[in-house]
Chains A and B, each alone.
Chain A
Amino acid sequence: MRFTRRKFLMGATTVGAGLALGPLTGPVRIALASTAPAKDPPAVLYDLTQCAGCHLCEIACQVNKGLPPEKALLSFRTGSELDGPNVPKGAWAIRRQQCMHCLDPACVAACPVAAMYKTPEGPVIYRDERCLGCRYCMNACPFNVPTFDWNSGLLDAALIRKCNFCYERQQQGKQPACIEACPTKAVIFGQRSEMLAEAKKRIAADPDRYVGKVYGEYEAGGTAFLLIAGVPFDKLALPDPGDKALPPLTRTIMGGTIPFALSWAAVLTGIYGVVQFRQKRMKQIGHGAGKEEKK
Chain B
Amino acid sequence: MTNSQTLAPTLRLSPGKIILWSLLILGLVAAGIRYTKGMGAVSNMNNVYSFGLWISLDLLCGVALAAGAFTTCTVVYILGKEEYRPLVKPAVLTGFLGYLAVILALLVDVGRPERLWYMIIYQNTHSPLFEVGLCVMTYTFVLFCEFSPVFFEWLGWHKLGHFFHKLVIPFVILGTVLSTLHQSSLGMLFLMMSDKINPLWHTPFLQLFFFVSAATAGLAMVVFESTIAHKVYGMEQETPLLGKLAKAIPWMLGLLLTLKVSELIWAGDFHLLFEPGKFTWFYWIEILGGVVAPMILLAIPAIRRKQSTLFFSSLLVILGLMFNRFNIGLLTWKRPAWDTGYIPHWMEFAVSFGVIAGAILVYDFVARRMNLFSNGHGAAEGGHHHA
A residues whose Cβ falls under 8 Å from a Cβ of B = 22-23, 26, 29-30, 33, 77, 81-87, 106, 109-115, 130-136, 138-140, 142, 144, 147-160, 237, 239-242, 246-247, 249-251, 253-254, 257, 260-261, 264-265, 268-269, 271-272, 275-276, 279
Contacts and interface: CB of A to CB of B under 8 A. Distances in A.
Contacts of B118: 113, 130, 132
A226 B124 CA distance: 28
A269 B165 CA distance: 18
A271 B177 CA distance: 13
Contacts of B37: 151, 153
Contacts of A33: 126
A83 B340 CA distance: 12
Contacts of A261: 177, 181
Q: Which 10 A-B pairs have the closest CB atoms?
A: A133-B111, A84-B337, A237-B337, A150-B40, A158-B111, A112-B130, A113-B122, A275-B80, A81-B338, A151-B38
Contact of B78 (A30, A147, A157, A271): A271
B115 interface: yes
Interface string B121-132: 011111111110
Interface stretch (B3-11, B44-52, B93-101, B215-223): B44-52
Interface stretch (B186-194, B272-280, B294-302, B359-367): B186-194
B35 interface: yes
Given A140-B193, A148-B50, A239-B336, A253 B122 contact: no
Interface stretch (B148-156, B168-176, B226-234, B375-383): B168-176
Contacts, number: 196
A100 B48 CA distance: 17
Given A246-B192, A250-B126, 13 more contacts: A22-B123, A77-B337, A82-B337, A112-B129, A132-B119, A135-B111, A149-B38, A150-B38, A150-B40, A150-B45, A157-B112, A246-B194, A246-B195
B248 to A, nearest CB: 16
Q: Interface residue tally of chain B, by bracket?
A: 35 or more
27 contacts: A23-B125, A84-B337, A87-B337, A110-B129, A112-B127, A113-B115, A113-B118, A130-B122, A132-B116, A133-B115, A134-B129, A149-B38, A149-B111, A151-B37, A154-B114, A155-B36, A159-B112, A242-B194, A250-B192, A254-B125, A257-B125, A261-B181, A264-B177, A268-B78, A271-B78, A271-B79, A276-B80
A253 B122 CA distance: 20
Contacts of B46: 150
